[in-house]
Chains A and B, each alone.
Chain A
Amino acid sequence: MSAMHCRDFWLFGSEWLEGDRNPRAVSHLAECSACRSLIADLELIRDSAPLLHEEEPPARMWLAIKSQLEKEGLIRQPKKSFLERLFPATAFRPELAGAYLSFLIIAAAALGFHMNSVHSAEQQSLWLADAQDTMTPVAAELGSAEKKTLPALQAPDNDINATLNHNLAIVDNMISLCEKGVRQDPQNEMMRDYLYSAYQQKADLLAAAADSEGR
């Protein structure tokens, strides 16, 4: 077996670091302090490298990427709810949900009055369907808001929650009766007023529950 020289060992250095123990290299290393020093340094560099491992980029980076992807039309936005389409901020501001629902209910009421002022026979026959169209999204949004608020209302031994739950049950009962009344007699203004008022009260109660959860 011929002896390995330093120059050969330098070329072999990376193999050594990967665990290759060529007998000639072993023999050379036993005799050569310079090559032992070389290997020690290379091992130190290799073992120190993971010190430079992962770093966290700033959070704004994703927002910038997302914004660009939206501009380029590469990402599809999730379908928004009825209320979110009308008032995008409500998705992120539960404490404002009551106010937005109030606005919606007033708008629905105004629409109802406007339609009621037209007394043609054809319009009368469409009243039931129109009333349903107006009531359904409001009721659905209230149901959705209630689901989100429900966990906060289930906290045990909480007087505020007990009162809110009690009042919600009363308002739900009132809504149920009024909806039934409107379906039976869609032109009954007083019944519609009661219904919108009941929706309004429920929205206020849910907003109060969301507020109490935030505290």
Chain B
Amino acid sequence: MGIVARTRRIENGELPEADAIRLAQQGDAAAFERLYQLHHRRVYSLCLRMVGNTAEAEDLTQEAFLQLFRKISTFRGESAFSTWLHRLAVNVVLMRLRKKTGSETSLEEVTEPDEESGGPRKDFGAPDLGLSGSIDRVNLQRAIDQLPAGYKAVFVLHDVQGYEHNEIAHIMGCSIGNSKSQLHKARMRLRDLLHEVERQRARDERQAFKDAAGKD
């Protein structure tokens, strides 16, 4: 393919990923941009869900892509390119979270006794236990923000981004069973956190009602 035709295909977004990888390995600027265009939304979304704020997500996404492009000459295609990129991105995010907490954050998060059993923690058996039919996007993100890093990564990769457990195992460097277990615990913890949001909302409404009644 001639340079003009190739550049045109890249600019039109027609260059297949495999060709873009090969050209990027040769240092082709347009191929780098094509790879960025193909994957930037997913990587940025992953970072955003993991850290919960846009400025930090931008910083992490940038770091992930820079690491990717620095290492692209070593990519041999043993795994899917997107899996490789996500593995890099997850590592970048986990490293940042480790620095923040000042401790090692691993998949084997320290879990609370109730979570070890995988069961609901409080109010078990109470009649108003169920969440109220829909979950607000903002509340869900707030709840995710409170998850330990390992739970968060698996939940975002599986439930938000749609990866399978075998892919997550590859990305996270863990077993499939571990990925399943972390996902279950993440959902259970989210359930607790979302219940707490609902309880708080109910308390606020009761208080507002009392305040209004007091004025009358």
Q: Closest residue of chain B to A51, judged by CB?
A: B137
Residue B160 at the chain A interface, CB threshold 8 Å: yes
Task: Identify A61's interface contact among B61, B69, B125, B156, CB under 8 A.
Answer: B61
Residue B151 at the chain A interface, CB threshold 8 Å: no
| Segment with Cβ contacts to B, from A69-77, A196-204, A206-214 | A69-77
Task: Identify B45's interface contact among A6, A38, A55, CB under 8 A.
Answer: A55
Q: Closest residue of chain B to A58, judged by CB?
A: B58
User: Which residues from chain A contact B57 at a C-beta distance below 8 Å?
Assistant: 57
User: Which residues from chain A contact B144 at a C-beta distance below 8 Å?
Assistant: 52
Given contacts A45-B194, A52-B160, A53-B161, contact A78 B29 (CB under 8 A): yes
The distance in angstroms between the C-alpha atoms of A68 and B36, with both chains bound, is 14
| Segment with Cβ contacts to B, from A7-15, A108-116, A135-143, A161-169 | A7-15
Q: Closest residue of chain A to B31, judged by CB?
A: A75
User: Which residues from chain A contact B27 at a C-beta distance below 8 Å?
Assistant: 74-76
Contact B155 A49 (CB under 8 A): yes
User: Which residues from chain B contact A48 at a C-beta distance below 8 Å?
Assistant: 134-135, 137, 140
User: Which residues from chain A contact B32 at a C-beta distance below 8 Å?
Assistant: 66, 69, 75
Task: Identify A13's interface contact among B133, B162, B184, CB under 8 A.
Answer: B184
Residue A56 at the chain B interface, CB threshold 8 Å: yes
Binary B-proximity of A52-91 (CB < 8 A = 1, otherwise 0): 1111111001101110110010111111000000000000
| Segment with Cβ contacts to A, from B13-21, B76-84, B115-123, B199-207 | B115-123
User: Which residues from chain A contact B49 at a C-beta distance below 8 Å?
Assistant: 52
Give, as a whole number of angstroms, the nearest-CB distance from A48 to chain B: 4
Residue A150 at the chain B interface, CB threshold 8 Å: no
Binary A-proximity of B162-201 (CB < 8 A = 1, otherwise 0): 1000000000000000001101100110110010000000
Contact A10 B118 (CB under 8 A): yes
User: Which residues from chain A contact B180 at a C-beta distance below 8 Å?
Assistant: 14
Residue A170 at the chain B interface, CB threshold 8 Å: no
Within 8 A of A (CB), among B125-160: 125, 129-131, 133-135, 137, 140-141, 144, 155-156, 159-160
* Max count, chain B CB within 10 A of own CB: residue among A51, A61, A65: A65
User: Which residues from chain B contact A46 at a C-beta distance below 8 Å?
Assistant: 159, 187
Give, as a whole number of angstroms, the nearest-CB distance from A41 to chain B: 5
The distance in angstroms between the C-alpha atoms of A76 and B32, with both chains bound, is 10
Contact B36 A65 (CB under 8 A): yes
Residue B40 at the chain A interface, CB threshold 8 Å: yes
Number of A interface residues in the complex (CB < 8 A): 41
Residue B105 at the chain A interface, CB threshold 8 Å: no
Task: Identify A44's interface contact among B66, B135, B141, B160, CB under 8 A.
Answer: B135
Task: Identify A68's interface contact among B41, B66, B125, CB under 8 A.
Answer: B66
Give, as a whole number of angstroms, the nearest-CB distance from A155 to chain B: 22
Contact A56 B44 (CB under 8 A): yes
Binary B-proximity of A16-46 (CB < 8 A = 1, otherwise 0): 0100000000000000001001101110111
Residue B26 at the chain A interface, CB threshold 8 Å: yes
User: Which residues from chain A contact B9 at a C-beta distance below 8 Å?
Assistant: none
The distance in angstroms between the C-alpha atoms of A55 and B57, with both chains bound, is 11
Within 8 A of A (CB), among B22-58: 26-30, 32-33, 36, 40-42, 44-45, 48-49, 57-58
Q: Closest residue of chain B to A69, judged by CB?
A: B69
Residue A50 at the chain B interface, CB threshold 8 Å: yes
Q: Which residues of B come within 8 Å of A, CB atoms?
A: 3, 7, 26-30, 32-33, 36, 40-42, 44-45, 48-49, 57-58, 61-62, 65-66, 69-70, 117-120, 124-125, 129-131, 133-135, 137, 140-141, 144, 155-156, 159-162, 180-181, 183-184, 187-188, 190-191, 194
| Extra inter-chain contacts (20) besides given A13-B184, A51-B135, A62-B33, CB under 8 Å | A14-B184, A37-B130, A40-B130, A41-B191, A42-B188, A45-B131, A45-B135, A45-B191, A51-B137, A55-B45, A57-B40, A57-B44, A61-B62, A65-B62, A65-B66, A65-B69, A68-B66, A74-B27, A78-B3, A78-B30
